[in-house]
Amino acid sequence: MRSGRSAPRGSAVPVDLVFVLAYIGGVDALLLIDALGGPASPLRVLLTLPVLFFLPGYSLAAAAFPRVAPTHRGSQGPSLLDRVQQPTQGIDHVERAALGFGLSFALLPIVGLLVAATPGPVSARGSVVALTVVTALFAVVAAVRRWRLDPEERYTLPFGTWESTLGGSGGSALDAALSVVLALAILAAMGAGALAIAAPQDGTSFTNYGIGTINDSGEFVAADYPTEWQSGEPRNMAFQVVNHEDERVNYTVVVQMQRISEDGRVVELAELDRFNESIGDDRSWTQEHRIQPPLNGDRLQVVYLFYKGDPPSTPTRFNADEYVYFWTNVGSGGEESSLAGPARSR
């Protein structure tokens, strides 16, 4: 006899699927507003582990097996493998949980390949969002398939019957073994997930830097560098910073004009401007500004020094995270430099 605390069989509201959709929707919202911090943030690790290692597989299992398992099974009842081969008989709660972990691990590389095939850079946040989209699709399919069944056949999340399901008198030896395997899988998934998120591989996070101008359409273009200026003549320039660091970063940009000697040394410099901005992950910062050259002559460079965080008291090429520059001449009668295009270095 089923306990009176159980959710009513045939309920039109799939409580488990509603929870899945609410959970992944909440995680996506927190990621989009940068409320979870960087990849190593304990809150981010805790909230994204189920999205990586359980919810996608659980939703897929729910879509594949919308029926509830038989209420009474003897010790000689069908095993998990038999139930997978005969989906019309349904699967029980332990089997759904086991498939949730197993199928999630199988889905991870597939979703990863799809994300890598899309245009643009691959980020940890984008990968998590892609997994939530896949999970939501499976959950919707599962809800539709349950709704089409007769009420007595629909799977319903139980309340108050976990003891009998996991180790009651009707359980088989295989069910007990599956319970142990499931517990080990949970521990392994949590450990692997924490390691993968808290210690990402080198090269998975980066920042793009560029200099150029704003065209007539209001778009940033890496072109139209002023290679010949008249003394006192202002020119509009622009730079762009694109954050792919998987966390919010505070950037500082220092703009200098430098005179370079024949042997490559900086023999004279003047700071033109300085900018600071905090940028969220997968966000860009485009800044237009006006330059009026304070130096005259040839062998001049306009240099953009990029820093994550505050720059040192004396910003130079050597202490910048990255710098980008272009050659220019200021004044009348100077020869145009053969190094007119922009260059960059770390």
d(CA 183, CA 163): 15
Q: Say whether pTM exceeds 0.85.
A: no
For 338, the 3-state DSSP assignment is coil
CB neighbour burial string for 301-334, b if at least 16 within 10 angstroms, e if fewer? bbbbbbbeeebeeebbbeebebbbbbbbbbbeeb
Secondary structure, 3-state, 151-167:
HHHECCCCCCCHHHHHH
User: For the purposes of burial, counting CB atoms within 10 Å of the CB of 84, is it exposed (0-12), middle (13-18) or buried (19 or more)?
Assistant: middle
Q: Provide the mean pLDDT of the chain.
A: 79
Measured at the CA of 338, the angle between CA 336 and CA 343, to 5 degrees, comes to 115
Q: Which residue has the higher pLDDT, 199 or 241?
A: 241
- CA dist 251 → 132, 170, 220 (Å): 30, 62, 18
Q: Which residue in this structure is represented by tokens 């009998």? A: 164
pLDDT digits (tens, 9 = 90+) for 151-191: 888 887 765 554 444 444 445 555 556 555 655 665 565 55
> In terms of DSSP bridges, do strands 297-308 and 322-330 run parallel, antiparallel, or are they unpaired?
antiparallel
What is the arithmetic mean of pLDDT over 28-42? 78
**Cα 301 to Cα 317: distance, rounded to the nearest angstrom:** 12
Cα separation, 322 vs 346, whole angstroms: 4
* pLDDT at residue 194 in the model: 52
pLDDT in tens, 46-101: 888 889 889 999 999 999 888 887 654 444 455 555 555 555 567 777 788 888 88
pLDDT at position 268, please?
94
Is the pLDDT at 115 greater than 50? The verdict is yes
Residue 35: what pLDDT?
81
Question: Domains plus CATH for the chain?
Answer: 15-198 (no CATH), 206-345 (2.60.40.10)
- Cβ neighbour number for residue 257 with a 10 Å cutoff: 21
* 288-336 tens-digit pLDDT: 999 999 999 989 999 999 999 999 999 999 999 999 999 999 985 444 4
